[in-house]
Structures are given as structure tokens and as C-alpha cells.
Amino acid sequence: MSEKIPTRAEAFELLKKYNQTESLIKHALAVEGVMRYMARKRNEDEEKWGVIGLIHDL
């Protein structure tokens, strides 16, 4: 079974829809950055892990 991971744009729209406070959006953006950094360091899919970080609290 293959799950579809949303694009970053789709993920950001979901984030704005379900997290309407500025602080939660900033938190999600920070986690996205950390996840992208860690993915890069581990030779993993940076886009995939960035999106996962962006919507991790949904």
C-alpha cells in the first residue's frame, strides 16, 4: 500500500487550515527546517521529511 505524501504547497494549506495561530505555524516551519537538515545529513528524501515536519502536529 502506497500512501500519498502531499506536496509542500498542499501541506502548507493543510497547516493553515487546521492551525490558525501564528505561533503554531512558526513552530511547524521550524520543525520543517530541522527535518530537512536531518534528512540532508542522512542522505534521505529532504522534500518528504520536510513535509512530514511541516504537518507533524495535524
Q: Indicate whether 38 belongs to any domain.
A: yes
Range of the domain at 50: 8-54
Q: Indicate whether 13 belongs to any domain.
A: yes
Q: Indicate whether 2 belongs to any domain.
A: no
Alpha-carbon separation of residue 49 from 21, 56, 57 (angstroms): 23, 10, 14
Number of structural domains the chain divides into = 1
pLDDT of residue 20: 83
Q: Indicate whether 1 belongs to any domain.
A: no
Dist. CA 30–CA 2, nearest whole Å: 28
- On whether the CB atoms of residues 14 and 58 are closer than 8 A, the answer is yes
Per-residue pLDDT tens digits for 8-54: 999 999 999 998 899 999 999 999 999 999 999 999 999 999 999 99
Residue 53: which of 16, 3, 15, 13 has the closest Cα?
A: 15
Backbone torsions φ then ψ of 10, nearest 5 degrees: -65, -40
| Whether residue 2 has pLDDT greater than 70 | no
pTM of the predicted model over 0.85: yes
